[in-house]
Chains A and B, each alone.
Chain A
Amino acid sequence: MKIALHVPCYINELNPQIAKKTLLILRHFKLNVKVPINQTCCGQPFINSGIPTTLPLKFNEIFKNYDYIVSPSSSCVSIIRNQNLEVSNKTYELCEFLHDILKVKDIAKNYQKKIALHNSCHSLRHLLEGAPSELNIPYFNKIKKVLGGNIIEATRDECCGFGGIFSLKEGFISYVMGRNKLDDLLEKKPDVITGVDYSCLMHLDSIAKKDGDKIEIKHISEIIWECLNETL
């Protein structure tokens, strides 16, 4: 099985540790993982800004010869999945890949900290990694299954207000939505807030830092790697 790691450009720039941890996790499962170094951006910022782009085609060129492409970002994955490309149906978000393909579960069952999971919109509503409250379908959550243990979720499964370009155009409402999301999660007294999209987490963290909330916020790959590393 030939696997490629997609390194989302914003993660490469702003939190390269996530890419490293994702690579370590995949290698932990004895997978043959390559990191194509000529990769750039999947095109998401342009598509979502209404700018015509051929970047998804470039993504396809770079990754089409792999069996699976794994990415620690559900928003990038959903951009690729929505295109009609060779790579569309073999590009997976990290937890989705662990759940659907590797069939891994309960990795963080014995994690010492109380985890709150932020279900990002792209993960929940675009990739259906869980059951959104809007639909009349039975409850499930792949990410929670992968983590295992007692995972907290927000009372409202609504958007955290990041929204990429939205956060730059509507700073105030973006802030209010993030503040509401933090309050919703913090009320349940978690030790750490996590999720599959670093973009949402970065947004929540920047609000927590500005407002002085004392809460650890980290990407799910970091928690998964901590757990795997401990059992080694």
Chain B
Amino acid sequence: MKHYKLAIKFYKEKGPRHDKNLWNIRQKRDKAIKEIDKWEQLRTKASEIKEYVIEHLEELIEEFTKNAKKQGIEVYYAKTKQEHNEIILKLLKEKKAKKVVKSKSMLTEECDLNEFLKENKIEVIDTDLGERIVQLRGEKPSHIVLPAIHTTKEEVAKILNETNSDPTYLTHKMRKLLREEFLTSKAAITGANFLIADKGFAVVCTNEGNADLGVTLNKLHIISVGIDKLLPSIKDLGIFLRMLARNATGQKITTYTTIFGKPTNQKRVIILVDNGRIKRKKSEFKETLKCIRCSACLTTCPVFRRSGGHAYRYIIPGPIGSLLAPLVDKEEYKDLPFACTLCGSCEMVCPVKIPFSKQLINMRKYVTKNKIMKIAEKSIHSDKTFKLFSLILRLTPKPLLQKAFKEWSKYKKLPNIPQKRFISL
């Protein structure tokens, strides 16, 4: 089903509340960024750093690998998602791990790791509250930072077999259930928000402490991370830490910010994942590699707020998802760059200044093969043919026009067409 149909279904069920909740987060974000006088300069700086990273990606991967190994971290490079999943399977088998706790990682979602490990009889427990909710519901996250934003507290009570839908009560219950999982797991998988090339560190930002607990309790810590998360130096980290939480949820900083380096009493493995990123670097969509997954473009998007994230069908929804999904499957996701009014709000909130409007238009070009519009473009160059179009428009009976513009006419009145034009020859 395409975006416009799924959007109708979602909006009628949950749209107004979803929109209101996300708009509240947008407002919290606005307040938080306005506490930093030089916010706009920070954006420029962050954008420049990320541009540097894209240009020097291969060198930075090499530098990071060298420095991480120096600290006793095992480093793998996975070219594809299959390679990534196989590496993890091998590591887990070595540890005879039948159960693994995972903290929120969009990359493992991108690689369909949960499904892969399940097929190989390894149980994956998502430990982020929102992520666990969607896992128990048999769904995928609908938002990259607020994975269960589409659910209600009653729905959460239902999956926990509870009649009490008080959020605090439910959180405590989930905490108790997850505690058991933490204590019986054999390995922890986390993502990473940033990789520091000059030190070989991985930085993880969370709010629930689940990543840290999982890592502390287990002998094996696997970090799955995309190569686009690299930063050249530890000196750059401050800029991004200041921006990430403010832009995502309006917090000054995430509750937990952990810098993972040299492991003590455990094995730490970092899997650097390409999965199309090097190829993207060479394409007209390379600027999407600047993304730090703060999710502000989703939260602000007026279409996303009303359609919900699942209408996008891809694991990363919203404006950034509409730029990434068609590169994975052009045919399946060709509607996504059009699920957008080109309002430019995403571009304004983006902390690394991805030129969304331009990129979304390029993506429309990438997925479009509209022959009729191409012919129209040719003929409209002449004011004479334009006049012919205009004449046809005026001679077409209204019911036919309504049929031609049926998505409009279903919900709105067609405007009246005046007899005379201004420039009419």
Interface of A toward B, CB cutoff 8 Å: 7, 9, 11-16, 19-20, 35, 37-41, 43, 46-55, 58, 82, 121-122, 125-126, 132-137, 156, 158-159, 161-178, 180, 202-203, 205-207, 209-210
Contact = CB atoms under 8 A, between A and B. Distances in A.
25 contacts: A7-B422, A12-B390, A13-B417, A35-B423, A37-B423, A40-B380, A50-B365, A51-B374, A54-B381, A82-B358, A136-B40, A158-B343, A158-B345, A161-B302, A162-B341, A164-B342, A168-B407, A169-B338, A170-B3, A170-B4, A171-B411, A172-B8, A172-B410, A210-B411, A210-B413
Contact of B408 (A7, A46, A168, A205): A168
Q: Which 9 A-B pairs have the closest CB atoms?
A: A163-B341, A50-B364, A171-B407, A134-B348, A16-B422, A175-B411, A159-B343, A50-B368, A125-B344
A55 B379 CA distance: 11
B302 A159 contact: yes
Question: At the interface, is chain B mostly helix, strand, loop or mixed?
Answer: helix
Interface string B17-56: 0010001000000100110110110000000000000000
A139 B213 CA distance: 45
A64 to B, nearest CB: 16
A132 B348 contact: yes
Contacts of B7: 170, 172-173
A174 B339 CA distance: 10
**Residue from A20, A52, A171 having most chain B Cβ neighbours under 10 A:** A171
A176 B408 contact: no
B383 interface: yes
B41 to A, nearest CB: 10
Interface in B386-412: 386, 390, 393, 405-408, 410-412
B412 A175 contact: yes
A221 B93 CA distance: 72
B183 interface: no
B343 to A, nearest CB: 4
B381 A58 contact: yes
Contact of A125 (B348, B368, B410): B348
Contact of A207 (B338, B349, B361, B412): B412
Given A125-B343, A170-B7, A172-B411, 7 more contacts: A13-B393, A13-B417, A37-B383, A38-B383, A173-B11, A174-B411, A176-B306
A171 B341 contact: no
A205 B306 CA distance: 21
A16 B424 CA distance: 10
Contact of B373 (A14, A46, A164, A207): A46
A172 B393 CA distance: 24
Given A136-B33, A172-B411, A121 B3 contact: no
B156 to A, nearest CB: 26
Given A37-B383, A50-B367, A163-B340, A206 B414 contact: yes
B370 A49 contact: yes
A170 B417 contact: no
B303 interface: yes
Given A49-B364, A49-B370, A173-B11, A55 B341 contact: no
B163 to A, nearest CB: 33
Nearest to B382: A40
B393 to A, nearest CB: 7
Interface string B286-303: 000000000000001011
B422 A161 contact: no
* Most chain B beta carbons < 10 A, residue from A38, A50, A156: A50
Nearest to A121: B343
A41 B370 contact: no
Contacts of A169: 4, 335, 338-339, 407
A125 B356 CA distance: 12
Of B4, B347, B367, B414, chain A has the most CB atoms within 10 Å of the CB of B4
A47 B348 CA distance: 21
Contacts of A37: 383, 423, 425
Nearest to B379: A40
A40 B373 contact: no
Given A37-B425, A40-B383, A171 B410 contact: yes
Contacts of B343: 121, 125, 158-159, 163
A206 B415 contact: yes
A204 to B, nearest CB: 9
B173 to A, nearest CB: 35
A188 to B, nearest CB: 18
B377 interface: yes
B368 to A, nearest CB: 4
Given A11-B422, A37-B383, A38-B383, A203 B412 contact: yes
B381 A48 contact: no
Contacts of A9: 386
A210 B381 contact: no
A121 B341 contact: yes
A83 to B, nearest CB: 11
Contacts of A209: 412-413
B412 A170 contact: no
B15 interface: yes
Contacts of A121: 341-345
B361 A48 contact: yes
B307 interface: yes
